[in-house]
Amino acid sequence: MPMKLERNETDKELSVRRILHTKNYSLTVDKTLCTGCEICQAICPKEAIEIKMLPKVPGEKRKHATIDVDGEKCHFCGICSSLCPFGALKVRVNSEHVFPVVKTESFPELIREINVNSTKCDIKCVDCEKACPLELIKVSVQTPDGKTVKNVDSIRDKKKLRVVVDVKKEFCPCCRLCELKCPEDAIRIKKFFQGIIHIRQEKCPEDCQDCLDVCPIPGALFLADDGKVHVNEIHCVYCGACRVVCPEEGALELQRTRIWHTPVRSGAWNKALEKLTSTKDLTKELQKKGTTRIRDSVKKRFDLGDD
């Protein structure tokens, strides 16, 4: 069957394509969204993705790493796309965005649990929109018939107006900045990556703040009065972009302990989960799955329902 490999790269995008007789496969990396974290490289079963460090320019901030894709090795399975915390990778078949491994139920998707109760929102409040570091939130005010109101003060009966909070969930890393900035307690977010991050100050090179420079979430890492970088785990999304650029081995320790994902039963996922977390955390998930299966079997056997 005829096959052709293509590779195109610009300042904003990297694309590799495999063109067959009946189907065209492509993997696209949006460089404006990619943070140079380690997730995709860690889980690629064909080692088709490589992290590349950019040289540090004296006097300038450290730039995050970039990723490169080997079109010869890539199988366009969609594993990287399904678990990218920033939605930077997309697999397409005949130009249609798909998740092949999710469709075959051999791999899960991240659960981005983002709940917004807009009935609590003040019609003039845009705090969540301002708080989002990735500009993924758009707040608007609409009339009962769905028309957007640009000047709220021009409307006499403001009680009929409603607030609409639009969140681009597929790109959201769930840092919770919007939730904590919301004055009306209208937003609830659950992180899909949970873990532990620790900086060993005694190992940090003098005046180094490379991890802070590349962190995609403002406030997750911060420079304290002692001149050292510290961690605020409330906002950390455990992507690993900081660990990738850390110049001193052992100075920054990051461990993912749990990944919130859609249900799946797959040996391939178990291997990936072990790479992203640890053998201990994989064991915990398998034990939990086993307990859940036993409980569900008992319910079904004795017709206990959900009570």
Q: Which of 43, 41, 45 is nearest to 53 (CA)?
A: 41
Q: Could you say which of 46, 76, 103 is where a domain stops? A: 103
Domain boundary among 190, 220, 253: 190
Q: What was the pLDDT predicted at 283?
A: 87
**Residue 219: inside a domain:** yes
Q: Which helix (H) or strand (E) holds 188?
A: strand 187-190
Could you tell me the pTM of the whole model?
Answer: 0.88
| Domain annotation covers residue 66 | yes
CATH number of the domain at 8, please.
3.30.70
Q: Looking at the structure, do residues 87 and 182 belong to the same domain, yes or no?
A: no
What per-residue confidence (pLDDT) applies to 294? 45
- Could you tell me the residue range of the domain that residue 173 belongs to? 113-190
Res 53: pLDDT: 94
Nearest of 99, 89, 70 to residue 5 by alpha carbon: 70
Q: For 77-142, where are the alpha helices, taking DSSP H only?
A: 79-83, 100-103, 127-131
pLDDT, averaged per 10 consecutive residues of the chain (307 residues), comes to: 86 96 94 96 95 92 96 95 96 93 91 96 95 97 90 84 95 97 96 96 92 96 93 96 95 95 88 91 77 51 54
pLDDT of residue 194: 95
Compute the distance between CA of residue 123 and CA of residue 61 in angstroms, rounded to an integer: 39
Specify the pLDDT at position 281: 82
Look up the CATH number of the domain holding residue 250.
Answer: 3.30.70.20
Co-location of 11 and 65 in the same domain: yes
Whether residues 205 and 280 fall in one domain: yes
Same domain, yes or no: 175 and 228: no
pLDDT for res 290: 57
User: CB within 8 A of 161, min separation 6: which ones?
Assistant: 123, 141, 142, 143, 149, 152, 155
Last residue of one domain, picked from the residues 190, 221, 245:
190
Taking a C-beta distance cutoff of 8 angstroms, is the pair 16, 27 a contact? Answer: yes
Please return the burial class of 294, using the count of CB atoms within 10 Å of its CB with bins 0-12, 13-18 and 19+: exposed
**Cα distance between residue 211 and residue 63, in whole Å:** 10
Contacts of 42 (CB under 8 A, 6+ apart): 272, 275, 276
* pLDDT for the residue numbered 298: 42
Do 128 and 167 belong to one domain? yes
Whether 307 maps to a domain, the answer reads no
Residue 237 tokens read as 């999304």
**In-domain check, residue 306:** no
Report the 10 Å Cβ neighbour count for 112.
Answer: 19
How many independent structural domains does the chain possess?
A: 3
Please tell me the distance from the alpha carbon of residue 40 to that of residue 49, in angstroms, as a whole number.
7
161 membership: H or E segment, kind and range: none
- Do 148 and 67 belong to one domain? no
